Amino acid sequence: MTYEPSLSDEELKELDRRIAKALRERSVEGLQVLGMGEAGLALAWPDDQPTAVVKRLWVSDSAADAQAQFKRIREYISRLAPFVEIAPTELRAIVADSGRTIPFIVQPLYPKEQLVEHVLEVDEPSSDHPIVTSLTEAIVLSGADGRQALDGQFTNFAWVENKLVFFDLGSPFMYDENGNAEDVPGVLDSLPTILRPVLRKQIQGTMNRLGGKRYTFRQAAISLPRIGQDRWLVPALNAFNEHLDDPLTVEEIHTRISRMYRELKVMKSLMRVQRAWAVGVRRRPYETFITDSFTGELT
């Protein structure tokens, strides 16, 4: 697709002001939310005539910290690019009114009809559907050497000219030569010291599991009921299970969704403790959305 995103620094600064207001008020009123992750939002911008999707990364104390995040994302792109098309991506940083460096991912605003989530709504489910076969192949090939994993949730893709296009780059899943997850710059820096070991263990545990082919397929399957597409679950599992010695089942997927909901509630409770500590003790604004991706609400 033809892509000419570039938002000006002032447009990004205005968006950051809106985000700061949303964080203070714990409300997304006035923002066009396209997607809600576990600690961030995908926003359409500018709000009057959107041309791009913008995701704010972990707020940094310096330009060097922001560049460390960008370096990791560029590495992730280079590792995945042989296996799946990557959405055109700009990595931008601005200095906010607070003086802190704010890193952003800026990508094209794909038409609704090109989003995989929409295609699944209108097409008939089939294990041979090109989206299912393309995603299956991308997961298998990208994870073959164990150095990176594709977050294969169906909501992370567009379908453009009969190709999958991957756009969820905010959480790069990469691994060292021993298969251990590498730390993500910025994620733990703002946490209270006492919470860092707990959350590091939880984050790395999740990333290490995602490095396995079965877990990656399972996460992709889990995304289907979560967007109301249970009718695609059996066809997707049939395609995925051709590459697994231990097949996934419908029952396992629904059990894991329930478990995920419980685990995320615990994680969000820890984040609320972090927010109280940041605001009440450090007297600093809390720079991360605490979302409920199941309900689409902020907490």
* Domain locations along the chain: 9-108, 113-298
User: What DSSP state is assigned to residue 190?
Assistant: T
Q: Mean of the pLDDT values across residues 210-223? A: 89
Please determine, looking at this structure, whether the domain spanning 9-108 carries the CATH number 3.30.200: yes
Instruction: Identify the pLDDT of residue 128.
Output: 98
* Alpha carbon distances (Å) from 8 to 4, 15, 45, 131, 159: 12, 11, 11, 35, 28
pLDDT tens for 136-159 read 999 999 998 888 889 999 999 999
The answer to whether 142 and 78 have CB atoms below 8 angstroms apart is no
pLDDT tens for 91-103 read 999 999 888 899 9
The answer to whether 233 and 253 have CB atoms below 8 angstroms apart is yes
pLDDT band at 180 (very low <50, low <70, confident <90, very high): confident
* Alpha carbon distances (Å) from 255 to 45, 124, 248, 261: 37, 25, 12, 10
Judge whether residue 296 has pLDDT over 70.
yes
Q: Rounded CA gap, 107 and 95, in Å?
A: 20
Beta bridge partner(s), residue 148: 174
Instruction: Identify the pLDDT of residue 198.
Output: 62
pLDDT tens for 55-103 read 999 888 789 989 999 999 999 999 999 999 999 999 999 999 888 899 9
Q: Which of 154, 81, 67, 166 is nearest to 119 (CA)?
A: 154
Average pLDDT value over all residues in the chain:
87
Q: Rounded CA gap, 14 and 96, in Å?
A: 9
Tell me the pTM: 0.87
DSSP helix, strand, coil percent of the chain (3-state; round to 5): 45, 15, 35
Tokens representing residue 256 in the block:
């894991």
Q: Rounded CA gap, 73 and 59, in Å?
A: 15
Q: Rounded CA gap, 122 and 288, in Å?
A: 35
